[in-house]
Amino acid sequence: MLSDVSSFASLAPAYPELLLAAGAVAVLLVSLFWKGVRSGVIATVAILLLVAVLALLVLQPATGALFNHTFIVDGFARYMKALVLGGAAATVLISLSGSKAHGIDKFEYSVLVLLATLGMMIMVSANDLMSLYIGLELQSLALYVVAAMKRDDAKATEAGIKYFVLGALSSGMLLYGASLVYGFTGTTQLDQIVAAITLESRSVGLVFGMVFLLAGIAFKISAVPFHMWTPDVYEGAPTPVTAFFAAAPKVAAMALFIRVTTVSFGPITKDWQQIVIFLSIASMVLASFAAIGQNNLKRLLAYSSIGHVGFALVGLSAGTAVGVEGVAIYMAIYVAMTVGIFACILALKTEDGAPVETITGLAGLAQRKPFVAASIAILMFSLIGLPPLAGFFAKWQVFLAAVEQGLFVLAVIGVLASAVSAFYYLRIIKVMYFDEPVAKYAAVPGELTVVMAGIGFLIVTYFVTVGAPLTAAAQAAAGSLF
């Protein structure tokens, strides 16, 4: 049925996706038939395409629902898509210089990244359990391949398999939940499910379905107890791939989580609130303690990202517009910090070209590479949530929402967990600044310096520069859901 697609102009809200889909296919075809084209060129084209889609998204304010209401573009979707696109473009940019060393200097990498990003955009805009699943799988399938791209590397292959098996399991749970929800409400459309639910007459089957649905999505945001794949995949996958995994997909899955809970299950907020609170507390606490013993930087960042998902969920726990605004701000700052920290890690190579991926390898970095060390230090203080850095303002808004709803136990556990998490972030600063240098490092590529400087600047000057406009944007985004 194509009745609502009467003309090309009526597709305006979906222009960014259409451009990205067409572009991804074009990039694929060109690289297949143009033998000998360097992967760096393809990657650059991919970045330009992502930036063009982002520009189109920003300049094209059309909103509305398309394709029989399976696809919705509202303020919230536009905000989250901007984050996804920005995160994706930035992570491809920072992986340019190291693509050969990390074994991802193939054109397929760029194409898969584009397709995964397309999947994420569909996830963010999904207004139907079916389009939700399609977007999720498009993203996941592309990512499974990307994780295992370095075929001759045992760890990367292991990471790919683990990711695939657990991802398939989570898809299964999600589908099972979706079928139950459909069975008990009679519709797959997210904003119509809500009409079929009332708090008084909700059935156990519906709640059951919702739990499975949320469990499936919780896998994708790697909230505890569905986090097991994260440390292994982060460690095993090539670093540029890890950077990509850590940024954009988390945003898309979080957007999906928010849309499903607040839009579809709004009337039974009390039911899903318990789940989110549990996920949140478990993620914050487990990540804070589990990360302490890590020496591998990527594993540490895996636990760190689990913890940050937990903090973001504190905002969603409130179940209010203020809370969703908090999550929106949190994800924006989280993406910036993630891109920044991976830029730093990718910038670090010893003189013989070996990547530095352990904390002990950073010893005395402040004396050898003061700029990189300062960037990492700023990011670490920001990840702890110390003012006046951006990380503090992220935590501020989510905890503000939780306190408004009287979730004091959650809030107290959350802030104490952030105190514990400070321990492992500070260890990195300690190693860089207080210890004596051992290794010598290679020169830092120019584009990474630019990324580090840019993100460092934004994080330090958040209160002065981006704070107010970002908050306004997040507020508008959250407002479109309530």
Partner 1 sequence: MIFSEHLLTVITFLPTLGALVLLLVGGKGEAVDNLARWIALAFTLVTAALSLWLWALFDPANTAFQFVENFDWIGDTIGYRMGVDGISVLFIPLTAVLMPAVVLTSWGSITKRVKEYLIVFLVLETFMIGAFATLDLALFYVFFEGTLIPMFLIIGIWGGARRIQATYKFFFYSFTGTVLMLLAIMAMFWQAGTLDIQQLLKFRFPPEVQTWLWIGFFASFAVKMPMWPFHRWLPEAHVEAPTGGSVILAAILLKLGGYGFIRFSISMFPDASHQFANFVFVLSIAAIIITSLIALVQTDMKKLIAYSSVAHMGFVTMGIFSGNIYGIHGAIFQMISHGIVSAALFLCVGVVYDRMHTREISAYGGLVERMPRYAFAFMVFTMANVGLPGTSGFIGEFLTMLAVFQVNTWVAFFAAFGVILSAAYALWLYRRVIFGALTKESLKGILDLDRREIAVLVPLVVLTILFGFYPAPILDATAASVNLVAENFANAIGAAPQAVAAAAGH
Instruction: Verify binding: residue 463, partner 1, rule CB under 8 A.
Output: yes
Instruction: Verify binding: residue 411, partner 1, rule CB under 8 A.
Output: yes
Cβ atoms within 10 Å, residue 52? 16
Size of the site for partner 1 (CB under 8 A): 31
**In this chain, which stretch among 27-35, 254-262, 295-303, 419-427 interacts with partner 1, using CB under 8 A?**
419-427
Nearer to partner 1 by C-beta: 168 or 438?
Answer: 438
Binding mask of the shown chain, residues 367 to 396, with x at each position contacting partner 1 by CB under 8 A? --------------x----xxx---xx--x
**In this chain, which stretch among 19-27, 92-100, 339-347, 462-470 interacts with partner 1, using CB under 8 A?**
462-470
Instruction: Verify binding: residue 37, partner 1, rule CB under 8 A.
Output: no
Instruction: Verify binding: residue 412, partner 1, rule CB under 8 A.
Output: yes
Q: For the chain, how are helix, strand and coil distributed in percent, rounded to 5? A: 75, 5, 20
Number of H helices, E strands in the chain: 20, 2
Cβ atoms within 10 Å, residue 358? 16
What's the gap between Cα 53 and its chain centre?
18
Instruction: Verify binding: residue 468, partner 1, rule CB under 8 A.
Output: yes
Instruction: Verify binding: residue 403, partner 1, rule CB under 8 A.
Output: yes
Rounded to the nearest whole angstrom, what is the least distance from the CB of residue 314 to partner 1 in the complex?
Answer: 11
**3-state secondary structure (DSSP) of residue 51:** helix
Instruction: Verify binding: residue 226, partner 1, rule CB under 8 A.
Output: no
According to CB under 8 A, which one of 467, 476, 479, 480 is a site residue for partner 1? 467
Instruction: Verify binding: residue 450, partner 1, rule CB under 8 A.
Output: no
Rounded to the nearest whole angstrom, what is the least distance from the CB of residue 306 to partner 1 in the complex?
Answer: 20
Task: Please name the residues in contact with 468: beta carbons below 8 A apart, sequence gap of 6 or more.
Answer: none
Rounded to the nearest whole angstrom, what is the least distance from the CB of residue 460 to partner 1 in the complex?
Answer: 10
According to CB under 8 A, which one of 30, 145, 415, 442 is a site residue for partner 1? 415
Task: Please name the residues in contact with 185: beta carbons below 8 A apart, sequence gap of 6 or more.
Answer: 192, 193, 196, 197, 206
Contact present, 356 and 438 (Cβ < 8 Å): no
Rounded to the nearest whole angstrom, what is the least distance from the CB of residue 127 to partner 1 in the complex?
Answer: 28
Nearer to partner 1 by C-beta: 37 or 374?
Answer: 374
Rounded to the nearest whole angstrom, what is the least distance from the CB of residue 339 to partner 1 in the complex?
Answer: 22
Report residue 260: phi and psi, to 5°: -65, -45
Element housing 4 (H / E): none
* CA atoms of 4 and 23, how far apart (whole Å): 24
Element housing 333 (H / E): helix 321-347
The owner of tokens 């850095």 is 389
Cβ atoms within 10 Å, residue 215? 19
Beta strand 71-73 with 64-66 is antiparallel
Contact present, 223 and 309 (Cβ < 8 Å): yes
Rounded to the nearest whole angstrom, what is the least distance from the CB of residue 190 to partner 1 in the complex?
Answer: 28
List binders of partner 1 among 232-291 (CB under 8 A).
none
Instruction: Verify binding: residue 400, partner 1, rule CB under 8 A.
Output: yes
* CA atoms of 475 and 329, how far apart (whole Å): 9
Binding region for partner 1 (CB under 8 A): 381, 386-388, 392-393, 396, 399-400, 403-404, 408, 411-412, 415-416, 418-419, 422-423, 426, 429-430, 433-434, 463, 467-468, 471-472, 475
